[in-house]
Copies of this chain bind each other. A is one copy, B any other.
Amino acid sequence: MSDPLHLEDLFVDQRFRAGPLDVTSEEIKAFATKFDPQPFHLDEAAATSSLFGELVASGWHTASLTMRMLTECLPFAGGLIGAGGKVEWLRPVRPGDRLSVEATIRRISASKSRDDRGMVNMRVVTSNQSGESVQLLDANVLAFRRNAGARL
């Protein structure tokens, strides 16, 4: 892991990449059992008669795997702390898919109320092994200035 990144280290159009990360049918089913127990996420046979026609990952599973990869490529000082974001699922994620992410900083705003931090807006594209985008995430993440160090 490289040195922690502070607000002063970040700039618009800066890019971060992580992956690949392989998705298995066991993991798809395990996630779905806990969080999204629908036939097309749980069982290959039942999935054939669904809209998808095959077993696919829950969108929230794709989002969670994206977060996993973001923690690997965005070593923000104090942690990667999101305020929220907009997520779009463009294509299903299937067993055997190999995912990667690319995050690009689009805006950086200083906090108006706290002088030790700012908000970083980034576009995060999650892609499969064919280079197809499976998810877009427009995320707002906290970043701390170096002078915030004592409080982290």
Contact = CB atoms under 8 A, between A and B. Distances in A.
A65 interface: yes
Interface residues of A, number: 36
Contacts of A38: 71, 79-80
Contacts of A152: 49-51
A35 B88 contact: no
Interface in A60-102: 60-61, 63-65, 67-68, 71, 78-89
A24 to B, nearest CB: 13
Nearest to A137: B84
Nearest to A117: B51
A59 interface: yes
Given A84-B89, A86-B84, A60 B63 contact: yes
Contacts of A81: 51
Interface of A: 31, 34-40, 49-51, 58-61, 63-65, 67-68, 71, 78-89, 136, 142, 152
